[in-house]
């Protein structure tokens, strides 16, 4: 079975003390992922080592970065490279979150270089895509999101692309409390899997977990995840409330 994933994205929230408490509360629930399931915490850089060491002994729990720089190394004060993340044992990194595309002006070509650097450094990229409200209202969301995949992933070969994770996050659903309906999520995920199959073949496309993100919470996770092409969620707000995230993990199929 394709990997099913509950990924927390804390963004720029929580102090170290709050982060430690939250991790303890979630891990204390002792939810044992099945062999095809994975729980990932995408945390701010200063909490990566804490998170890594907290989950070290746990089965299928991992720490993830929320970003890495698009250059290998050099005079980029304040930035963090994929190589650095690898050197401290981090195995996942979010690439191209819509907040970074918008506020840091990250474009498709830049994200393609981040994807390459992650892969070179044995880090699994969690590649984010998704359309803003105006595009959804114009009804051109399929073309828009397909282009995002094309710009940042189509240079890869089938074997490599089958190792990454994709997160479809409609921008209008992020942090708004407005979730895509189960049907809207399934429709887009199925479409994206088709786009990937056309380019890379059905076998590779079937391996890639496609997570849904945008106001996932305990009350809607099970229904969203029940769709055949929705392989779990990338969760912001609700991932910082222990009881909520615990239920979201339990909702994985
Ligand atoms: P949200 O954020 O769950 O708070 O909508 C999701 C995300 O941005 O990854």
Q: What is the pLDDT of residue 123?
A: 98
Q: What is the pLDDT of residue 45?
A: 98
Contact 59, 249 (CB under 8 A): no
Alpha helices, DSSP H only, in 121-201? 133-138, 141-153, 158-161, 182-200
**Summary mean pLDDT of the chain:** 97
For residue 175, is pLDDT > 90? Answer: no
Tell how far the Cα of 97 is from the centroid of ligand 1, in angstroms. Answer: 10
Ligand 1, atom nearest to 99 Cα:
8
Active site residue 36: no
> How large is the average pLDDT for residues 18-29?
98
Ligand 1, atom nearest to 94 Cα:
9
Q: Which of 169, 189, 244, 247 is catalytic?
A: 169
Percent of the chain topping pLDDT 90: 96
Tell how far the Cα of 74 is from the centroid of ligand 1, in angstroms. Answer: 32
Contact 214, 167 (CB under 8 A): no
> How large is the average pLDDT for residues 100-117?
98
Ligand 1, atom nearest to 98 Cα:
8
Tell how far the Cα of 104 is from the centroid of ligand 1, in angstroms. Answer: 17
> How large is the average pLDDT for residues 129-156?
97
Q: What is the pLDDT of residue 176?
A: 85
Percent of the chain topping pLDDT 70: 100
> How large is the average pLDDT for residues 205-218?
97
For residue 74, is pLDDT > 90? Answer: yes
The CATH number of the domain covering residues in 4-250: 3.20.20.70
Q: Which residue puts its alpha carbon closest to atom 6 of ligand 1? A: 236
- Pocket (CB within 6 angstroms of ligand 1): 9, 169, 174-175, 213-216, 234-238
| Model pLDDT for residues 213-231, shown as the tens digit of each residue | 999 999 999 999 999 999 9
For residue 37, is pLDDT > 90? Answer: yes
Q: How far apart are CA 65 and CA 41, in angstroms?
A: 8
Q: Which of 54, 97, 106, 189 is catalytic?
A: 97
Q: What is the pLDDT of residue 23?
A: 98
Ligand 1, atom nearest to 237 Cα:
4
Q: What is the pLDDT of residue 197?
A: 98
Active site residue 105: no
Full 3-state SS string of the chain: CCCEEEEEECCCCCCHHHHHHHHHHHHHCCCCCCCCEEEEEECCHHHHHHHHHHHCCCCCEEEEECCCCCCCCCCCCCCCCHHHHHHCCCCEEEECCHHHHHHCCCCHHHHHHHHHHHHHCCCEEEEEECCCHHHHHHCCHHHHHHHHHHHHHCCCCHHHHCCCEEEECCHHHCCCCCCCCHHHHHHHHHHHHHHHHHHHCHHHHHHCCEEEECCCCHHHHHHHHCCCCCCEEEECHHHHCHHHHHHHHHCCC
């Amino acid at each position: 079975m394709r990997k099913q994933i509950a990924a927390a994205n804390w963004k720029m929230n929580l102090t170290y003390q709050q982060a430690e408490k939250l991790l303890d509360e979630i891990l204390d629930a002792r939810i044992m992922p099945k062999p095809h399931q994975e729980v990932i915490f995408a945390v701010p850089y200063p909490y990566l080592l804490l998170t890594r060491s907290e989950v070290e002994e746990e089965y299928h729990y991992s720490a993830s970065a929320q970003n890495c720089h698009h250059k290998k190394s050099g005079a980029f004060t304040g930035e963090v490279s994929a190589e650095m993340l690898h050197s401290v044992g981090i195995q996942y990194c979010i690439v191209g979150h819509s907040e970074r595309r918008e506020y840091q002006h990250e474009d498709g070509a830049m994200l393609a270089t981040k994807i390459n650097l992650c892969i070179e450094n044995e880090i699994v990229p969690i590649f984010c895509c998704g359309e803003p409200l105006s595009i959804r209202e114009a009804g051109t969301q399929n073309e828009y999101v397909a282009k995002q995949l094309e710009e940042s992933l189509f240079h890869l070969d089938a074997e490599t692309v089958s190792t990454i994770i994709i997160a479809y996050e409609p921008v209008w659903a992020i942090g708004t409390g407005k979730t895509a309906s189960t049907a809207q999520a399934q429709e887009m995920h199925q479409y994206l899997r088709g786009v990937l199959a056309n380019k890379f073949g059905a076998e590779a496309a079937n391996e890639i977990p496609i997570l849904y993100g945008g106001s996932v919470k305990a009350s809607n996770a099970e229904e969203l995840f029940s769709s055949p092409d929705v392989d779990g969620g990338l969760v912001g707000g609700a991932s910082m409330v222990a009881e909520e995230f615990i239920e979201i993990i339990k909702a994985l199929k």
